[in-house]
Amino acid sequence: MADIAVIIVNYGTAELALKAAASVLERAHPGHRVELHLVDNASPSSDADIIADAIAERGWQDQLIFHAEAENHGFGRGNNVVLHDLAAREVPPDYVFLLNPDAVLDNEAIAILADFLDGHPDIACAGAEIRKPSSPAPVTAAFRFPSLGSVVSEAVNFGPVSRLLRSSRVALDPTREAARVDWVAGAAVMARLEVWRDVGFFDPTYFLYYEEVDLMLQVARAGHACWYVPQAKIIHHEGAATGVRSGEEARRRRPVYLYESWRHYFSKNHGRAYALTAAILWLLGGTLGLLIATLRGRTASVPLNYAGDITRHVIAPLLRPGGR
């Protein structure tokens, strides 16, 4: 019987986070002991009070450990609050399962992933199938690690280029069977706590975006495998907290921390020269993609002000002496 710690990190989505918590508490998790942690990341509204009151009203005091933080740590550091506490225990749990506050279990996903890891001691991480509440079709939840090829393909976003660079594409087929992949969505991922502890948990430099990609890259570099396990199913209200959704509202301006995270990921893991090359390809590819979309009378996929933001938040810092 495995011990599993579930972590939900909330920011500004108290009601959804409570639904996420309820979806965990309402499941039986056959064959496993599950403890639930809910972190409020210093939400600017009254989320902490709403959550605390709901815990008392629903009698969850003995089922849920609530962490009301005084600072918005971002996704990775918010999870680290609990991860470090778990690792410091005399007897830590076997597994940790991260669940987005805007997601709910659609079946016994926690038990399914734990059973899978129990049966495959060489695998460190396992991710669930994810779908939106409005559709029965799964969305992409399994990925390749980013590369120069993927940067060009995503920036240009034009069929012939995408087909030419198909093997570099980050997003994998959402209908794929269970298989080894580079990384899985942080919205619903289970991992061996000791493996994540050994690689240092989430890099605290990230505020939001790329932190789970980075963590799973460190896991892979340490010699451990990650698998996508679609038998475990999650429903995800994507972007409820951040307002950034894949494939939607593409012409919105992206937050600064997305560019900063992108820069840190590439420079940390591949070096400054590689990161600078990737940034220039991103800039040039996006410009080409914008031109192609304009000529075809279509909406470009690059975000608003991407050229200025890439230059200011990615290229300029990389050009500074010692910059990363």
Q: Which pLDDT score is estimated for 229?
A: 98
The per-residue pLDDT for 17 is: 98
pLDDT of residue 300: 85
- Cα distance between residue 291 and residue 228, in whole Å: 36
Residues 34, 111: Cα–Cα separation, whole Å: 9
CA distance 255 to 204: 18
Backbone angles phi, psi at 130, to 5 degrees: -125, 135
- The confidence score (pLDDT) of residue 242 equals 52
Which pLDDT score, from 0 to 100, does residue 136 have?
A: 87
Residue 28: how many other CB atoms lie within 10 Å: 10
Tokens describing residue 204: 């605290």
pLDDT the model gives residue 245: 53
Q: What is the DSSP string of 174-237?
A: TT--SEEESEE-TTEEEEEHHHHHHTTSS-TT-SSSSHHHHHHHHHHHTT-EEEEEEEEEEEE-
**The domain at 2-145+182-236 falls in which architecture?**
Alpha-Beta Complex (3.90)
DSSP 278-313: HHHHHHHHHHHHHHHHHHTT---SSPTTHHHHHIII
Using DSSP, state whether 55 is helix, strand or coil.
helix
* Distance separating alpha carbons of residues 120 and 38, to the nearest angstrom: 28
Neighbours of 229 (CB within 10 A): 25
pLDDT at 249: 46
CB count within 10 Å of CB 319 equals 12
pLDDT at 48: 96
Q: Mean pLDDT by 10-residue block, N- to C-terminus, for the chain (324 residues)?
A: 93 97 98 97 95 97 96 96 97 98 97 98 97 92 98 94 94 93 98 98 97 98 98 86 51 93 98 97 95 90 93 96 77
- Tell me how far apart the alpha carbons of residues 68 and 183 are, in angstroms, rounded to a whole number: 30
* DSSP-based three-state secondary structure for 110: helix
Residues 324/264, Cβ–Cβ less than 8 Å = yes
Give the span between the Cα atoms of 44 and 153, in whole angstroms. 37
Q: How far is CA 76 from CA 43, 105, 166, 225, 272, in A?
A: 16, 21, 30, 21, 23
Buried b (16+ CB within 10 A) or exposed e, 29-55: beebebebbbbbbebeeebbebbbebb
Q: What is the pLDDT of residue 240?
A: 57
The answer to whether the beta carbons of residues 81 and 65 sit under 8 Å apart is no
CB 110 within 8 A of CB 6: yes
Question: Tell me, what's the pLDDT at 322?
Answer: 75
Which pLDDT belongs to residue 241? 54
Report which of 219, 223, 240, 175 is spatially closest to residue 9, judged by C-alpha positions. 240
pLDDT of residue 237: 87
User: What residue ranges do the domains of the chain occupy?
Assistant: 2-145+182-236, 256-319
At 272 the pLDDT is: 96
